[in-house]
Amino acid sequence: MIRFASPWWLPAGAVLVAVHLWARGRAGTSLGVPSTRGTRRLSPSWAVRTRWVVPLLEAAALLLMTAALAGPRWGVSRVVHVTEGVSIVLAVDASESMGAVDPPPDGPGTSRLEAVKRVVAEFVARRTGDRIGVVVFGSTAYTLMPLTTDHRALTAALSRVRVGAAGPDTALGDGLGLALKRLRGVTSPSKVVILLTDGRSNAGMLSPGTAADIAHALGVRVHTVGIGRSGVVRITVPDPLGGTTTVTRRADLDETTLRGIAARTGGRFFRAGAPGELGPIYEAIDRLEKSESRVETRVAYREEYPVVLGVALALLLLAAGAANTRYLEIP
């Protein structure tokens, strides 16, 4: 669409053109002769018939020059949906107990960790516009992926995590503390940690309670997810002699601590007795943590006055050339 920066020049141009044509009409030329008797039978030439061309060219040039002063611009309007995403860090337990398969299994031979990977991939795919990072913890904690909008890379990195990658134990406080470190200094309308574990904190330097206090001070909401049934579970672990072996261990989920972390930070606690219950839990978290969005209309302008002014000057030159050659008027 065409718009003008100073549209008031347009009526001014129309007035100038009207005055110019009126002045040209009054200026007319005449040549005094003793008698026109001998010229009455002469037909006017095509130059005489089209003598209005020069005033018309001048008027058009004048009109275009005032239009150029009006600042014509061509603009394309675009509706832009601006999304202010949530910053989310997933703190995933990869201790040895995450290799357990809870009955009924979520598919043949699917461990808790493998079920978590699948559900997290589905969750991440829905979070368009969000920055998401992953922290993996066991006996220690490490950053698998810093905050990123490249959700494909994040999912690919998570798919390569193996049970026991960070050690056999559960450093719950260290895992949460490192997730909070990833969010420190981040400017975002909402900062969230999703902490998933199947055990009780039995390693690490930072206690879960202290980590929850830090999250509260930083304004980070922590949703905690407890996975797996408590009691004796069979876990497939690496065999020191090569290959893998199955051992029996007791899985003891600390619901009290997980509920306390969620309550301290304004989050929610979710319980998944089996990996198959993780899907609805992540769907609930997805509904809780909505990104803020707004609609903006942006117009990109391209200034067109140089083109208009160029055409005006061309017409003015053409009028001047015509007025001094074929349409030359002699007083």
Q: How far apart are CA 297 and CA 168, in angstroms?
A: 54
Q: Write down all domains in the chain, each with its CATH number in brackets.
A: 2-25+47-77+297-323 (no CATH), 86-290 (3.40.50.410)
Quick check: 76 pLDDT over 80? no
Determine contact, residues 227/198, Cβ cutoff 8 Å: yes
- The rounded mean pLDDT for the chain is 79
Rounded Cα–Cα distance for residues 328 and 25 (Å): 16
60-75 residue pLDDT tens: 888 888 887 777 777 6
**pLDDT tens track for 249-307:** 776 788 999 999 999 999 999 988 766 677 788 888 887 777 665 555 666 667 777 88
Query: What sign does the dihedral 55-56-61-65 (CA atoms) show?
Result: positive
Asked if residue 233 lies in contact with residue 295, where contact means CB atoms within 8 angstroms, the answer is no
Q: What is the pLDDT of residues 109-123, one digit of tens each?
A: 578 888 888 888 888
Contact predicate 195/223, CB 8 Å: yes
DSSP state of 86: P
What letter represents residue 279's amino acid? G
The whole-number pLDDT of residue 196 equals: 92
Average pLDDT, integer, range 215-236: 84
Kindly report, residue by residue over 122-174, the tens digit of the pLDDT: 888 888 778 899 999 999 999 999 999 899 999 999 999 998 889 989 999 99
Report the percent of the chain where pLDDT is more than 70: 74
Burial class (CB in 10 A: 0-12, 13-18, 19+), 323: middle
Interior/surface letters 171-197, b for 16+ CB within 10 angstroms, e for the rest: bbbbbbbbbbebbeeeeeebbbbbbbb
